[in-house]
Structure 1
């Protein structure tokens, strides 16, 4: 410092040195020795990072939150408030009928007593009802699955009114007041409609037919009674094959009660049309072709379905006697107890023990045809002179008589001469003739016209489908 420096100059120089010291960078070693009070950009970045980490730790780790040190609040006091309920209707208070009906549909195997027990009603009430309607006792004690029963049960729990259907057209209501039972019968008109149900087989004949309204019995009639001799429903039927069925349906108040038997049916498979018509001959319902020939064959080839042929017709060495002799029938091996069916409609000639045949049955089918069934373990519920239908179980497979194992020995005779049942041309069934044929033609012409009308609407032409018929899953049900 020179002597010529004034006081003013000295003060300005000191101020400059102080400003330079404040803006000089601070080394890490100097920070450790103390913070000089001025925040740099790095300080702010570090502070922000530590603040963010602190918030995350407080939110994630239990006990670090701001409420961890707050004492738990005391239980709040509760109070009850009475609310006014809406008043019961007047009919409920006075117990008027019709305000508390409970509908029950009878399940398979369920009895009237079981229904009353489920409804928590005493058996004495049930007996009181049965005594009041003795004419309907069989209706109530032989309940069919699906039968509808209705109970009018007021708040008191005592049965006030019981309701059931006497038949399709009459509904009965029994009002119970103490020991007195008052009966009221309501007539419910029914309507019977003859309809044509038509559709395609699709993925499943059963499913498609059920969806259109055919009953399970109707479908079984198609497959087991009408077309089973001409169509193999396991191999021959395709999704585009179609069927039409004429049935009678009984309706009541918009509800389908039941579907009657098949009156007529057509089935088209592989481009070939098959027809069947129901007609009663001698009081028995059968199915016939359009020209009056029965669809059911006179004889079935195998009295035991799916049995294994073990011995043919002809000369052979007898397995028991050990010598060569004529085998006058064919043998089918099957387990003991397998049912044996009558090959055709017949009259029972004999049923009992018959020498080497053991337990045997002989059937007379008329026109000189007869059959014999031998070696049965036991005979069915038949007796000599009885008339039986084709397919009736006449006995069960066994090994009685001269037999080395359980099987059926089956013989086919024509005018007393043994014939090979596997190769003989079976006689055709008797066709309709005379007045029966005239009645059949008059009856079937109406049904066939109804089917043709429906199929013309749906399919237009079987060989050249119209655009409407080409649409998938085309089905119809019309009132004929």
Structure 2
């Protein structure tokens, strides 16, 4: 190209040179911003001070903003639901073991071993019972994906295979709905029979008796015509009643005297006035079956046939039935003789002593401190007796008193601050008990 330029006429060479000079000059002209930057008075700048530099990052900033606002498309691990698979149920038969069930379901012994040893939850499978059901779900290769095992009416154990080939567990729990229900009745033969007739469970009957156990001896004091009513919790799952909960309030009319108890937030029961139902002494120190003799200062002894004082109450019960301390105290005697058999005497403060005779076994020693309701021995037939029973005596200042009727120390009331919240609740419960009692009367008439 240089050789061709040399062959041009001189006029053309000058024209080309002028055009090249103009193009170079235009290229060297600075931009407005660069001129402004150069024209800045450098003498006005201070050494060590920071100054902002104008940068044209509008487009880049816009792109960054769009990127940051874009949703992160990151997949989270999904825990498979039991309903996503086709489950096959296998009911546990008599004589079945897990190995037999897994083999019947088409899974290897290695799968069983790995699954059962995953954690404490999976080891519950080793305690299966006939009639229970294990539900299995498999993949296309026939390998175990999930297993369901119903633990209770509310909880189901779900075992799932992970992506790594291990097993993970979780408990699926159904929501429990709790509602208040009421029941009541009139005693015609026994409190136990009346309670069953009213639809109460054995546990509810015993809990009811325990609430009033400081005021009423349910072995001796119950009479035909006595009435009871209670409000209690009932639990439902999917509309089906699965069981009962706590007693909320209860009333017992015994020989014309009314006893009322309301559950407080501390779990204990109190009278509507706020006094604890718990007192210094229980009326009966044993869960009774029937009574062989009442308090009678002059009676014929069943062995000798002679008139001898019977300064207490005999509670007939099977040998081995637990006997508990009627109150807090200290064991002052624990021994054996040919008349009383195995016996325990307990001092309660300075005024009261309780005695427990004819025990099969003694569970406390002399000098030991005991709490109310603590097991001190078991019913037996040791000493001069004709059958297994507990002979129980109650002494006040050294004088024998009838354990059924002796006046006991009053219980402590709730603190004033708690009474302000308890009493309104108690009144609500009293109104409900009253309505229930009226309904029971109307149904029986």
Q: TM-score normalized by structure 1?
A: 0.52
Extract unaligned runs of 5+ from structure 1.
1-95, 475-480
Is the Cα–Cα contact under 8 Å of residues 265 and 275 in structure 1 kept in the other structure?
A: yes
Q: How does 1:279-290 map onto structure 2 within 5 Å?
A: 279=264, 285-290=267-272
Is the Cα–Cα contact under 8 Å of residues 245 and 451 in structure 1 kept in the other structure?
A: no
Q: 1:345 aligns with which of 327, 332, 336?
A: 327
- Write the distance in 2 (CA, Å) between the matches of 1:116 and 1:473: 57
1:443 aligns with 2:422: yes
1:129 aligns with 2:93: no
Q: 2:204 — aligned with what?
A: 218
Q: 1:376 — aligned with what?
A: 359
Q: 2:231 — aligned with what?
A: 245
- CA distance 1:302–1:99, change in 2 (3 Å): closer
- Write the distance in 2 (CA, Å) between the matches of 1:336 and 1:216: 19
Q: Secondary structure at the match of 2:158?
A: strand
Is the Cα–Cα contact under 8 Å of residues 277 and 411 in structure 2 kept in the other structure?
A: no
Q: 1:432 — aligned with what?
A: 413
Q: 2:224 aligns with which of 232, 235, 253?
A: 235
Q: How does 1:288-437 map onto structure 2 within 5 Å?
A: 288-295=270-277, 298-300=281-283, 306-309=290-293, 313=297, 329-330=311-312, 332=314, 337=319, 339=321, 341-342=323-324, 344-349=326-331, 352-354=334-336, 357-366=340-349, 368-380=351-363, 385-390=368-373, 392=375, 394-400=377-383, 403=384, 410-415=392-397, 417-421=398-402, 425-435=406-416
- CA distance 1:289–1:313, change in 2 (3 Å): same
Count residues in correspondence.
346
Is the Cα–Cα contact under 8 Å of residues 158 and 172 in structure 2 kept in the other structure?
A: no
- Write the distance in 2 (CA, Å) between the matches of 1:329 and 1:244: 35
- Write the distance in 1 (CA, Å) between the matches of 2:145 and 2:133: 17
Is the Cα–Cα contact under 8 Å of residues 199 and 208 in structure 1 kept in the other structure?
A: no
1:99 aligns with 2:99: no
TM-fit CA distance, 1:389: 3.6
Q: Secondary structure at the match of 1:452?
A: helix
Q: 1:150 — aligned with what?
A: 135
Q: Secondary structure at the match of 1:445?
A: helix
Q: 1:263 aligns with which of 245, 248, 260?
A: 248
- CA distance 1:425–1:274, change in 2 (3 Å): closer
TM-fit CA distance, 1:245: 0.6
Q: Secondary structure at the match of 1:132?
A: coil
Query: In the TM superposition, what whole-angstrom CA distance separates every residue of 1:254-304 from its partner, at most 9, and x where no partner exists?
Result: 5555532112234679998653212476xxx44332123444662326756
1:198 aligns with 2:182: yes
Q: Kindly name which structure, 1 or 2, has the bigger radius of gyration based on alpha carbons.
A: 1
Cα RMSD between the aligned structures?
Answer: 5.5
- CA distance 1:389–1:115, change in 2 (3 Å): farther
- Write the distance in 2 (CA, Å) between the matches of 1:160 and 1:423: 65
Is the Cα–Cα contact under 8 Å of residues 115 and 167 in structure 2 kept in the other structure?
A: no
Extract unaligned runs of 5+ from structure 2.
1-82
Q: TM-score normalized by structure 2?
A: 0.55
- CA distance 1:140–1:380, change in 2 (3 Å): farther
